[in-house]
Amino acid sequence: MAQQVNPPRGMRDFLPADKARRERVLGVIRSTYRAHGFDEIETPVVEDSDRLHAGLGGDNEKLAFGILKRGIGTEELHAARDVLDVVDLGLRFDLTVPLARFYATHRAELPAVFRAIQIAPVWRAERPQKGRYRQFVQCDIDIVGESGVQAEAELLLASLDALDALGLEGGSIRVNDRRLLTAMLDVFGFAAEEHEGVLITIDKLDKIGPEGVVAELAERGASAAAVEAFRAFLLRPQTREFLPFGERQIRKGLPAGLESPAIADLVAIGEAVAAARGAESGDAPLVFDPFLVRGMGYYTGPILELAHPSVPYSLGGGGRYDGMIGRFLGQSVPATGFSLGFERLVELVALAEEGAADAVALVHDADAPLPALLALKAEAVATGARVRLVARPRNVKPLLDALAAEGFTRFAFVPAAPVPTFADLELRPLA
C-alpha cells in the first residue's frame, strides 16, 4: 500500500520556478530595507517555551508548537496536568518575541538605535485553509531604542518603498494609536477591566459590521450605557476613513473633547511621510482609522496596517511595543516594528526573471566523457552563465520546451568526441 507522500497539512513544497519567484520577491524586499539603513539578523527557529508563553504574543501563544523535554516518558506525559509541563522549547510563532530576546542578549554589541531586518519562517498550529498555513515566511523590520515618531515614519517609508519596488504602487497604510483607543473607551464609559474584551470585539468590525460589534458587546455583558454611547458614535454618518491625514481629520474621527498626545504624534508621522515622498503636507498615503485595533495586546502606541486596492485584506501591519523588551531586561526599551505579509504579497507580484540571458543548457551525447563535460561546464560557468548539463534524448523538442519554461534562453548540442570548448559551441536561442 502506497504511503502518504504529501507534506504535512498546512505546509508546502515549492517547485524550482516557485522557489525562484519567491526569492526574487524576497530579494527586492531585502534590498529595499537595507537601502533604508536596516541590518539583517538571524535567530534560532526555537525559543524557550517559558519565553514563548510569557504573555507577549497574545493569542498566537495558543498556536505555538511545543517540543517535548528530552527523556520524557509515557508516565510523565499521562501525569502532566498541562502540556507546558512536559515541553521546554517551542517553534517561534512570530519574529517579534525572538527579536526582543535577541536585543536583550546582545544589547552591548548593538548601536543605541538598532534597525533590524528579519526574514524567516515561523510556525503556528493554525487550522489549515486557503491562505492560512502552519509554516509561512514573515518579513519584519524593527527599530529598537528610538522613542520618538521618527521610528514609525522610517518604518512606513521603507514599507511603502518596498511595495513600490514590487510594482504594487497605490498602497496605503491605516493608522491608529492604542492610546487613542484606550481614551475612546474611557470616554464611552467602559471600565478599565472591560477594555481588553471590548477591543477584541471592535477588532472584528470589518468582519461583522457595526451592528454585529454592538450585539457582541451586549452579549459580553459590557456596560449597557457604554455600549449605547459607542453605538451612537459608531453609526454616525461620517465615513470611517478621514483623508487627507491631518489634525482636523483625526479629531473628526474621535469623540468630541478627546485629548491625547497621540494626536500630535500621528500628525507628525503624516507630515514626515508626506515630505519624504514629495507630497504636500497631509497628502501622505496614510488613512486614520479610529477603529483599527490589531489584536496583539503588547502594542503601546501607534499601530499600522497596510492595504492595497487590489485586494480586500491587509498586506502587513505592526506597531509600537515599548513594554516587551523590558520584560527581559528589567528596564524600559522603546521599540516599534512592521511586518509585510509575504505569503499574500508574493501572490500579487509579477517580477521579471533575473539573469535569464545567461542561462545555458549543454545538451550532450550520452557517451560524452564525464571529465570533458565537467571541464566544459566549468569553462561556461566562469563566463558568468548559469549552466546545466542535460543528456540528449531521442526527441529533443519536449526537452527544449521544458528548458525554456524553466528560464533557460540558450542551448548548445555537445558531441561525444571531441568535446569542444565553450567558445567553439554553437549557442542557439530557446524560444
Here the cell at position 416 is 561525444
> Distances from the Cα of 388 to the Cαs of 352, 369, 392, 413, in angstroms?
21, 16, 12, 12
- In this predicted model, which residue has the larger pLDDT, 246 or 382? 382
Cis peptide before 371 (omega within 30 of 0): no
- DSSP-derived secondary structure letter, 238: S
Is residue 157 within 8 A of residue 277, CB to CB? The reply is yes
Cis peptide before 420 (omega within 30 of 0): no
Q: What is the pLDDT of residue 337?
A: 96
Cα diameter, the chain? 92
Q: Which amino acid is at 149?
A: V
Q: Which of 35-39, 166-170, 231-235, 270-274 has the highest mean pLDDT?
A: 35-39
On the question of pLDDT at 49 being above 70, the answer is yes
| CB environment 191-214: b (16+ within 10 A), e (fewer) | eeebeeebbbbbeebeeeeeeebb
- DSSP-derived secondary structure letter, 64: P
E strand or H helix at 136:
strand 135-144
Tallying the residues shown for the chain, one arrives at: 431
DSSP string over 276-297: HTT--TT-SSEEE-TT---S-T
Residue ranges, comma separated, of all CATH 3.30.930.10 domains in the chain are 16-202+240-348
CATH topology of domain 16-202+240-348: BirA Bifunctional Protein; domain 2 (3.30.930)
| 364-394 confidence digits (pLDDT tens) | 999 999 999 999 999 999 998 899 999 999 9
On the question of pLDDT at 211 being above 90, the answer is no
**Least confident interval from 105-109, 168-172, 299-303:** 168-172
- The number of beta carbons lying within 10 Å of the beta carbon of residue 312 is 8
> Distances from the Cα of 360 to the Cαs of 86, 226, 353, in angstroms?
54, 70, 15
Q: What is the pLDDT of residue 326?
A: 85
Place of cell 517535548: 68
Give the residue ranges of DSSP H helices in 80-177: 96-106, 150-165
Instruction: Give the three-class secondary structure for 337.
Output: strand
Q: What is the pLDDT of residue 256?
A: 86
Is residue 93 within 8 A of residue 63, CB to CB? The reply is yes
The mean pLDDT value of the chain amounts to 88
pTM of the model: 0.87
